[in-house]
């Protein structure tokens, strides 16, 4: 299944024998949508505290905007076919939105800013942070203006503009580090792309839905086959109906999906259900099994009276620090195992670079190898 999907995705995004450069309009439109994500997700999280569309691992905000982008592209193509975006351009825009969706909220900014300023704002005579921590904080790492930091947490007086000049220094230094971090991450993905796709046959579940939305042949109808299936629209309507009812209930209490006559704890995630259809069965079983194993392990800790006094952030499973550290160890082992499985490929890359890229496709392959290193 994975091999079929990967081969089909590669052949459908760019037809065989054709290599068309990406247009400026695709980059501009992608940048505009990234700006919309940056502003809209912050507004939704921090102002109205409504839909957390950039919180979930599945990047719902990127898929949401891409869905309407594809529908709009179909409409534009119906009126003027030459103005419609090509599949390569749509894939580029979706990739840009996926990367940008993780930056403005829980993926980066909403953690970074409180972390670099909290050591000053939450310093009290009781915790003695002013003597224990603040002397060791470099001056460039965060603003050192007390009024500026207080305004960040408590809000500015009405009509007062944001004092950006106080933030430019610290954010400038952090931007250099974060740019390097993202470039290294991209380089690692480029370096491990071949063993992932050809060796392990990864499915890339977050790309399957967008690829299905834009698949087809050039010159044929812009409407993908997936939009012609009634089953898709039934599955689409169910979470939309539930989500709309929950959203409208916040504005009109008389509109609800279920009455509060009885409380029965029940959690259901449409995104997780959809995600499970795009991953290997063994992987899905592993996720389910180890989640249950963690619950059993936590229950044993409770019975034996084993409790940790360590305080962790709520993103790190604060109810069980032991399981958090266990998961971190498992992640490190998994990363090392991935590198070990890719050792032959990594050695081949090193040899190609050492031999000045004198292979059958020196230019293209050499560029990717050098960029990854």
Question: If you average pLDDT over residues 153-180, what whole number do you get?
Answer: 86
Number of domains in the chain: 1
The arithmetic mean of pLDDT across residues 133-140, rounded, is 84
Q: Does 126 map to a domain?
A: no
- At residue 359 the predicted structure's pLDDT band, cuts being 50, 70 and 90, is low
Average pLDDT over residues 273-299: 83
Please answer whether residues 134 and 123 qualify as being in contact, where contact means their C-beta atoms are separated by less than 8 angstroms. yes
| pTM for this model (two decimals) | 0.73
Are the beta carbons of 222 and 228 closer than 8 angstroms?
A: no
CA–CA separation, 201 and 203 (whole Å): 6
- pLDDT tens digit string along 197-249? 777 777 777 788 888 888 765 556 677 777 888 888 888 888 888 878 877 77
Residues whose CB is less than 8 angstroms from the CB of residue 37 and which lie 6 or more positions away in sequence, other chains included: 54, 61, 62, 65, 97, 100, 101, 104
User: Is residue 350 assigned to a domain?
Assistant: no
**320 and 299 Cβ atoms separated by less than 8 Å:** no
User: Is residue 363 in a domain?
Assistant: no
Domain span including residue 205: 1-14+21-107+164-223
Asked if residue 206 is part of any domain, the answer here is yes
Would you say residue 258 has pLDDT above 70? no
Residue 344 included in any domain: no
Whether residue 45 contacts residue 105, with contact meaning beta carbons closer than 8 Å, is answered with yes
Does 55 map to a domain? yes
Q: What percent of the chain has pLDDT over 70?
A: 82
Does 281 have pLDDT greater than 60? yes
Q: In the prediction, which pLDDT does 61 show?
A: 86
* Nearest-angstrom CA–CA distance, 49 and 55: 12
pLDDT in tens, 24-43: 899 999 999 999 988 888 88
Is 60 inside any structural domain? yes
pLDDT digits (tens, 9 = 90+) for 56-85: 667 788 888 998 999 888 888 888 888 888
Asked if residue 326 lies in contact with residue 300, where contact means CB atoms within 8 angstroms, the answer is no
Note whether residue 67 is domain-resident. yes
Higher pLDDT, 260 or 289: 289
Report the pLDDT value the prediction gives residue 149, as an integer from 0 to 100.
87
Average pLDDT over the chain, rounded to an integer = 78
């Amino acid at each position: 299944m994975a091999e079929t999907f990967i081969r089909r995705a590669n052949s459908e995004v760019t037809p065989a024998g054709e290599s068309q450069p990406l247009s400026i309009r695709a980059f501009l439109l992608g940048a505009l949508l990234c700006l919309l994500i940056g502003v809209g997700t912050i507004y939704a999280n921090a102002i109205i505290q409504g839909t957390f569309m950039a919180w979930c691992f599945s990047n719902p905000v990127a898929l949401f905007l891409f869905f309407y982008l594809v529908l709009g592209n179909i409409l534009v193509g119906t009126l003027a076919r030459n103005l419609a975006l090509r599949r390569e351009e749509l894939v580029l825009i979706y990739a840009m939105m996926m990367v940008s969706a993780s930056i403005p909220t829980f993926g980066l900014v909403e953690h970074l800013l409180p972390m670099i300023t909290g050591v000053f704002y939450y310093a009290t005579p009781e915790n003695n942070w002013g003597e224990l921590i603040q002397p060791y904080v470099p001056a460039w790492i965060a603003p050192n203006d007390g009024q500026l930091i207080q305004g960040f947490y408590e809000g500015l007086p009405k009509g007062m503009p944001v004092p950006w000049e106080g933030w430019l220094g610290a954010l400038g230094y952090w931007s250099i580090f974060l740019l390097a971090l993202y470039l290294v991450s991209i380089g690692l993905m480029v370096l491990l792309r071949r063993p992932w796709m050809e060796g392990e046959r990864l499915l890339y579940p977050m790309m399957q839905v967008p690829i299905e939305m834009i698949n087809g042949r050039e010159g044929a109808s812009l409407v993908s086959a997936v939009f012609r299936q009634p089953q898709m629209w039934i599955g689409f309507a169910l979470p939309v109906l539930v989500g709309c009812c929950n959203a409208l209930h916040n504005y009109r209490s008389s509109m609800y999906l279920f009455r509060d006559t009885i409380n029965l704890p029940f959690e259901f995630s449409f995104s997780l259900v959809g995600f499970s259809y795009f991953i290997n069965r063994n992987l899905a079983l592993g996720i389910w099994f180890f989640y249950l194993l963690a619950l059993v392990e936590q229950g044993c800790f409770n019975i034996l009276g084993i409790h940790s006094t360590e305080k962790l952030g709520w993103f790190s499973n604060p109810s069980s620090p032991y399981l958090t550290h266990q998961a971190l160890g498992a992640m490190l082992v998994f990363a090392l195992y991935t590198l070990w499985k890719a050792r032959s490929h990594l050695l081949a890359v090193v040899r190609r670079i050492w031999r000045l890229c004198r292979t059958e496709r020196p230019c293209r392959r050499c560029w990717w190898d050098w960029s990854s290193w």
